[in-house]
């Protein structure tokens, strides 16, 4: 399975949930993303087959090293983009929604330069990341 925008969203969701709670289950992903259990189950199976997640005997979902790498990359993009948009004056909810739309499509070069600029602005403003 190619790492599509949808897969990136699932990986990011698993990362976020794993930072908030000790165990992540399919139902947690359903609740977070608003998807049905069958939809989530199908995608999780494909992600497991592709080595992006593992599921233990208690149905706890964890990211593999490869899955974690992708999840961290996307989540970093999300945080930087939403923070940048907020510095521009966009309200928090809209900034987060817009970051979700953009985070998957920016080139690495553009994102690296945007992140560099964002970090400079953040330091100049005295706000915490």
State how far the alpha carbon of 5 is from the alpha carbons of 71, 74, 101, 111, 122, in Å: 11, 10, 10, 16, 28
pTM value?
Answer: 0.88
Segment 64-120, tens digit of pLDDT: 999 999 999 999 999 999 999 999 999 999 999 999 999 999 999 999 999 999 999
Place of tokens 């330069």: 113
Segment 47-70, tens digit of pLDDT: 999 999 999 999 999 999 999 999
Q: Retrieve residue 99's tokens.
A: 């970051």
Q: What's the DSSP call for residue 53?
A: E
> How far is 57 from 13, CA to CA, in rounded Å?
21
* Domains, the chain, ordered by start: 5-64 (1.10.10.10), 70-125 (1.10.60)
> How far is 128 from 49, CA to CA, in rounded Å?
39
């Amino acid at each position: 399975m190619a790492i599509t925008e949808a897969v990136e969203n699932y990986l990011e969701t698993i990362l976020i949930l794993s930072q908030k709670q000790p165990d992540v289950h399919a139902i947690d992903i359903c609740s977070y993303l608003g998807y049905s259990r069958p939809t989530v189950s199908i995608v999780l199976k494909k992600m497991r087959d592709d080595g992006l997640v593992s599921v233990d005997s208690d149905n706890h979902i964890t990211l593999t090293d490869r899955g974690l790498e992708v999840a961290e990359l996307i989540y970093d993009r999300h945080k930087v983009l939403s923070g940048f948009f907020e510095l521009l004056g966009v309200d928090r909810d809209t900034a987060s929604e817009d970051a979700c739309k953009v985070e998957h499509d920016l080139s690495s070069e553009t994102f690296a330069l945007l992140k560099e600029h964002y970090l400079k602005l953040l330091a100049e403003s005295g706000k915490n990341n």
